[in-house]
Amino acid sequence: MAGERILIVEDEPRIAEVLERYLRADGFRVERAGDGHRALELWRAANPDLILLDLMLPGLDGLEVARQVRRTSSVPIVMVTAKVEEVDRLVGLELGADDYVLKPFSPREVVARVKAVLRRAGGHVRAPVHHTVGALAIDLDAFEARCGGTRLDLSPAQLRLLATLAAEPGRAFRRAELLEGGTDGFADERTVDAHVKNLRRRLGDCADLLETVRGVGYRLRP
């Protein structure tokens, strides 16, 4: 992962400086923006591998930045927020964010989240994989999913989650497996629940394939 470019979007200079220092110490290249408009300029110019995006920004807020980025790009987004209400997390993830970090946070935790999201993105998007479960068809070459031939409007994180479940229909995946492959101690399993809740709404006629396994996690019904 060394050398991958991270765009930090944070209007508090002290926080941005600490995050930049920790990320650079781990070998990442870093760009910084202090507001939403500058964030979009740097995203277009620098082509980052991941965006670390604060929600509370002056002018153009983080949610609107995420909306505009997601119109044309699947770059991983980790949102940073002081808002703890579930609706804020769900809105952010529905817009296509891959993960979120709550303030106050440990800089080391943020670096770990960044690495985990980059691993998931690199480990799934590049592999040519096709899955079919009932009327549900997933094509990671084209990076799309269809239900009965109808293309589903999924975020990158939702598509990767669905592909993981579809790789082994009938198997109950623990939340930790779905979020981090079960290897990262910083996994926040509530992120998986939020993604699944949003994913169910997007699956249309295939929604009944996605089942909750009480006390365990989730599976796709074979």
Quick check: 184 pLDDT over 70? no
Q: How sure is the predictor about 38, in pLDDT bands with cuts at 50, 70 and 90?
A: very high
Stretch 20-39: mean pLDDT, rounded? 94
Contact (Cβ atoms closer than 8 angstroms) between residue 10 and residue 35: no
Q: Which residues contact 5 (CB under 8 A, 6 or more apart)?
A: 28, 29, 30, 31, 46, 47, 48, 49, 50
Question: What's the CA gap between 163 and 131, in Å, rounded?
Answer: 7
Ordered structural domains, the chain, with CATH: 5-124 (3.40.50.2300), 127-220 (1.10.10.10)
State the pLDDT at residue 2: 54
Reading the block at residue 119, the tokens are 């691993």
The answer to whether residue 180 scores a pLDDT higher than 60 is no
Q: In whole angstroms, how far apart are CA 46 and each of 5, 32, 75, 110, 186?
A: 8, 11, 12, 21, 28
pLDDT computed for residue 36 by the predictor? 95
Check if the beta carbon of residue 204 is closer than 8 Å to that of residue 159.
no
What element of type H or E holds 53?
Answer: strand 50-54
CB 148, CB 139: distance < 8 Å:
no
Segment 178-204 shows an average pLDDT of 72
* Residue-level pLDDT at 86: 66
93-115 average pLDDT score: 87
Tokens at residue 153, please? 């409007």
Is a pLDDT exceeding 50 seen at residue 19? yes
Look at residue 124 in the predicted model and tell me its pLDDT. 43
pLDDT of residue 1 exceeding 80: no
Predicted confidence at residue 84, as pLDDT, reads: 66
pLDDT (0 to 100) of residue 140: 78
Summary mean pLDDT of the chain? 85
